[in-house]
Structure 1
């Protein structure tokens, strides 16, 4: 995880130092990335001093051990006066309300709960958001859920292909939607009113939450919400997703398939209504036992990309019109996703990086999400008094090339910038 975070931040122009205990990884980082790499223990004061922690603006601790991350943040804050610290915490027990005194205050760790990232919880939440909008490859909530950004892949049934975008308002006068960017042949670009959409494009639109269904229809996207869901993988992501479904979508039947017997037993203890099956999702009889023929959605979230891809392919083979979402970390597999019939790729690294970026992007920035495999970012920004765009029309704001304002939230009013 740290490798990809460092790579992304270095590409953004930040001065990055990486600490890792593995000599092999330190050499690899030094050879491949434009960062400084140091061998050592992340919570060792001497190692942090060698990394020039006293000059750092931010420390991000994302090792595989929660305890190391927490101690590293505490050492950085106490000994080196680093006020901005972010820790990866995987164990949900640390974040339970009854232990909230662990973080912040005079007796707790020197970081509040909003400085903690839990990749597994973030990924489960991202998958849940995607399931809320069937047919979308990406679904992001902004402005406290009142605004959505959707990623849509256009097919031949899309009625507005080869139509200038400026005509969308004429075609759908009561639909407030803005196409902000298009991904075509691996390139992401902002669009203008004269641009046209093509079959095969992935577009990123902004729309009011109450107009999502109409927006999907306008672009020829037809899909039914999930009713019968199979989750492959009973780890933190799978269990977290099941619990979100139990809490917010009580009408959905959820089954979890987990290969490891002990983990399956643990998962069964963590859910209320979901059914947990102990078995290998790559075996057809297990998928049939889970009801794959009648399921409408399969989400594969094991720790192995290959298993997630194969489980999705088997689901498409056995199920009729089933929607598949697969957790795929390796970038090399990304181009294969749509070719092999997987509907949505869940990229855990991009989701985690997005959660870290909100601590780096300052000046009124409330939320950050990367899109299109990190090629672009969606920002939610609170305009400050001195911002140079205040009291100006959007076309007079002098925005840099590639920057698009999709929506403005002013009190209770939501303005889609068409």
Structure 2
């Protein structure tokens, strides 16, 4: 696939890295010669210094032969114009744009990005995507990652196995026998520095991070089975009143009437503006690193500190301070992968990686075949994919126990007629079933082939 990426920042670089590793033909455009040089030096891609919205730059980057343009610069208007020019002058089939300004995304303007107006196929709003991820993590304490599939009916949760976890040191097939009515499947395990797909004879041990696929109404029971009975936070302090912080506070106000929120914002004008927008949230103006301000916010009585500023360092330090002052738990926004490994050492309970969230959203549209959703985990070491089975799929019509799935792949659930089906050995996949699959990086291409719209399997 030939792909043009406009923007070589963290998100653009991350997308280029993933696509280049999969041997796609990738061109990256950015106005910064320094960023383009970094891309050229470290990735097998072509780099172009210039404006992604300028026709001659797009032409030089190969727009005439491109299958897709992904515009993820920091400027919405550049992203929009780049997609329009790619459509009008070069007839690029798929156009993806990152849009940050919420005014473009109002429901009454939903026809704006249509083929008749601005021909953009996919709009990605990092603030909304990350905000929803933060809300899912708040709603399910004990889970270190939460992703929804099949209209929210199927959930994937990542759960840390603690020393007193009831399911450790027990073969996974035995868990199925002990809890036959629990539709939960362990599809992936992180142990130390390695990630692997477990077999039915494998056991979980203390310290493992288990990726579990289950039914929506069985998530809390699954967490409890793994030893996590944490109560949902009702007293929350949010550090950072940017787009994400405001979205999270506003949504909690709408969805959870008994949750009390205090929000800390260091820019006075912004603090005044969001205080006018929010109804029940107490907005405090100052630094989240100010111990006096944290005490004024009653940090010692808080259930959860959610640090959502633009600075990883502020997020980390404010969370460490909050825990030191008596806050029960912390959830932190971390952009830089360099800090992910340190989070546990520093006592941070959970983190959200905005770049990973955005890249997952893009991959959903890069993947070939009937791919409905993609979530990248462990910095791209694996993906959990929801795909629709076709008549031509080799998965259809054979009992799961008789399927010869490639190594590094495991089926987590099947969605049929609005219901989740656990992947027991006797189950047969039918056409139009939606299948949730965990795939290691090396097996992703094979998953795509299984769901391709073609007759190449006959």
Report what 1:103 is aligned to: 113
Are residue 52 (structure 1) and residue 62 (structure 2) matched? yes
- Asked if the contact 1:86/1:111 (under 8 Å) is kept, the reply is yes
**What SS does the corresponding residue of 2:25 show, helix, strand or coil?**
coil
Deviations 1:65-84 (A, max 9, x none): 00000000000011100120
Report what 2:136 is aligned to: 129
Q: Determine which of 79, 86, 101 is the counterpart of 1:91.
A: 101
Distance 1:392 1:291 in 2: 59
Are residue 6 (structure 1) and residue 12 (structure 2) matched? no
Report what 2:376 is aligned to: 370
Q: Determine which of 331, 337, 357 is the counterpart of 2:343.
A: 337
Q: Output aligned runs, 1:211-230, within 5 Å.
A: 211-230=218-237
Q: Report the TM-score, using the length of structure 1 for normalisation.
A: 0.97
Deviations 1:215-266 (A, max 9, x none): 1111111200111111100001111111221222222111110111122122
Report what 2:7 is aligned to: none
Deviations 1:300-354 (A, max 9, x none): 010110100001101111125x111111111111111111110111101100101
Deviations 1:42-66 (A, max 9, x none): 0111010000111111000000000
Are residue 67 (structure 1) and residue 73 (structure 2) matched? no
Q: Determine which of 182, 190, 210 is the counterpart of 2:197.
A: 190
**What SS does the corresponding residue of 1:406 show, helix, strand or coil?**
strand
Distance 2:228 2:379 in 1: 22
Distance 1:263 1:391 in 2: 58
Distance 1:62 1:336 in 2: 28
Distance 2:388 2:326 in 1: 45
Distance 1:264 1:224 in 2: 30
Report what 1:29 is aligned to: 39
Q: Count residues in correspondence.
A: 414
- Asked if the contact 1:15/1:35 (under 8 Å) is kept, the reply is yes
User: How many angstroms does 1:105 deviate by?
Assistant: 4.2
- Asked if the contact 1:206/1:416 (under 8 Å) is kept, the reply is no
- Asked if the contact 1:30/1:37 (under 8 Å) is kept, the reply is yes
Report what 1:327 is aligned to: 333
Distance 1:14 1:267 in 2: 43
Q: Report the TM-score, using the length of structure 2 for normalisation.
A: 0.88
Report what 2:294 is aligned to: 287
Report what 1:381 is aligned to: 387
Are residue 245 (structure 1) and residue 248 (structure 2) matched? no
Distance 2:420 2:108 in 1: 38
Q: Determine which of 384, 392, 399 is the counterpart of 2:405.
A: 399
- Asked if the contact 1:165/1:195 (under 8 Å) is kept, the reply is yes
**What SS does the corresponding residue of 1:76 show, helix, strand or coil?**
helix
Q: Determine which of 347, 355, 359 is the counterpart of 1:349.
A: 355
**What SS does the corresponding residue of 2:316 show, helix, strand or coil?**
helix
